[in-house]
Amino acid sequence: MERSAQSAASWNVLPLPVGDPVSAGLLRQYFEDIVSRYYGRRMTVAEIDDILAEFTSAELAPPTGLFLVGHYAGAPVGCVGLKALGPGMTELQRVFVHAAARGTGGGPALVRAAEQAAREVFGASVMRLDTRKDLVEARALYARLGYREIPAYHDDPFADHFFEKKLV
């Protein structure tokens, strides 16, 4: 068995309110990571605070969404959000694995848990997502998990690639 397959078994992914302090800490790390990559520099605390105020993640709370936290070796080191887009369709958002836990199967564990929740909680048969061109690891992960590139389904200026997967 390869390392990521063995490690994925060590991941435990469970729902947690998006406003919980653990969730809030992971969302801060998520935004710090992706925004720093976008601008090519570390973001200041004030800049991250501004981003968190603008992008509240409130849509990832019931009834419009769900937030999941991934634990690896007992520590919360990853997250993923789900947002209902309409009947039978959800959107994957805020996929994040802390740098220290990357390579342990967390990305696939989080996405698969979100897919299961999309089916069970929202009755979804389709999952969509968007990502940026610089997030090459994310694009590779989604392709590996069966997501196919589709035309844009919204006009967010920070989204370069759009994906969809039929949930069976």
Q: pTM here?
A: 0.90
pLDDT (tens digit per residue) in 34-66: 888 888 888 898 999 998 998 889 999 999 999
Nearest Cα to Cα of residue 107 among 117, 120, 94, 116: 94
Give the helix/strand (H/E) hosting 109: helix 106-122
Quick one: pLDDT at residue 161? 96
Quick one: pLDDT at residue 106? 97
**What is the average pLDDT score of the chain?**
92
Q: CB–CB of 85/64 below 8 Å? A: no
**pLDDT over 70, % of the chain:** 95
pLDDT (tens digit per residue) in 111-145: 999 999 999 999 999 999 999 999 999 999 999 99
Quick one: pLDDT at residue 5? 45
pLDDT greater than 70 at residue 12: yes
First to last CA, the chain: 25
Q: CB–CB of 106/77 below 8 Å? A: yes
Looking at residue 61, the DSSP 8-state letter turns out to be S
Domain that residue 62 falls in: 3-166
Q: CB–CB of 16/22 below 8 Å? A: yes
* Single-letter amino acid code for the residue at 5: A
Mean predicted confidence (pLDDT) in 14-42: 93
Quick one: pLDDT at residue 3? 41
Report residue 6: phi and psi, to 5°: -65, -45
Report residue 149: phi and psi, to 5°: -70, 140
pLDDT greater than 90 at residue 9: no
For residue 37, give the CATH number of its domain.
Answer: 3.40.630.30
Q: How many distinct structural domains can be found in the chain?
A: 1
How would you class 145 by CB atoms within 10 Å of its CB: exposed for 0-12, middle for 13-18, buried for 19 or more? middle
